[in-house]
């Protein structure tokens, strides 16, 4: 843990301790079991439709390789909802980053 200040190290230790204690003490009644993943498909459809209705050009969605390149270049991971939208279609124009260009215009 070199490079971290003492406050960060202490915080990580507290989080680690909480995670370790909660995983052994949680009961199935505390957290409902999830049998499926949340689908963003209805939200994605509405967003893409709204973009089209607003006159925004929407290009084909980003591929997994394009997501990986952008995430590596900018050092973040797209949140699942935005990833679902950008996989369905990528809006182009003023106010929208061009995730396909190197050094995307943010």
Residue 13's pLDDT is 75
In the chain, where are the structural domains located? 1-30, 39-106
Output 14 or 75, whichever has higher pLDDT: 75
Helices of type H across the chain: 6-25, 41-53, 64-74, 80-88
Name the helix (H) or strand (E) containing 92.
Answer: strand 89-92
Output 102 or 36, whichever has higher pLDDT: 102
Model confidence, pTM:
0.60
The answer to whether the beta carbons of residues 101 and 92 sit under 8 Å apart is no
The answer to whether the beta carbons of residues 40 and 61 sit under 8 Å apart is no
Distance between CA 6 and CA 79 in Å, rounded?
Answer: 30
Residue 92's pLDDT is 93
Nearest to 52 by CA among 83, 84, 78, 88: 88
Could you tell me the pLDDT band of residue 104, with boundaries at 50, 70 and 90? low
Which two structure tokens, joined as six digits, stand for 88? Answer: 């369905």
39-96 per-position pLDDT tens digit? 777 889 999 999 999 999 999 999 999 999 999 988 899 999 899 999 999 999 989 9
Output 34 or 72, whichever has higher pLDDT: 72
Nearest to 71 by CA among 82, 60, 55: 82
């Amino acid at each position: 843990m070199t490079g971290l200040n003492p406050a960060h190290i202490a915080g990580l230790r507290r989080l680690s301790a909480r995670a370790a204690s909660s995983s052994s003490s949680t009961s199935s009644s505390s957290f409902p079991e999830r049998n499926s993943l949340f689908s963003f498909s209805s939200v994605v459809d509405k967003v893409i439709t709204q973009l089209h209705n607003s006159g925004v050009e929407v290009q084909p969605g980003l591929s997994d390789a394009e997501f990986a390149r952008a995430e590596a270049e900018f050092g973040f991971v797209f949140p699942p909802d935005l990833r679902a939208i950008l996989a369905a279609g990528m809006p182009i124009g003023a106010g929208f980053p061009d995730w396909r260009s190197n050094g995307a215009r943010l």
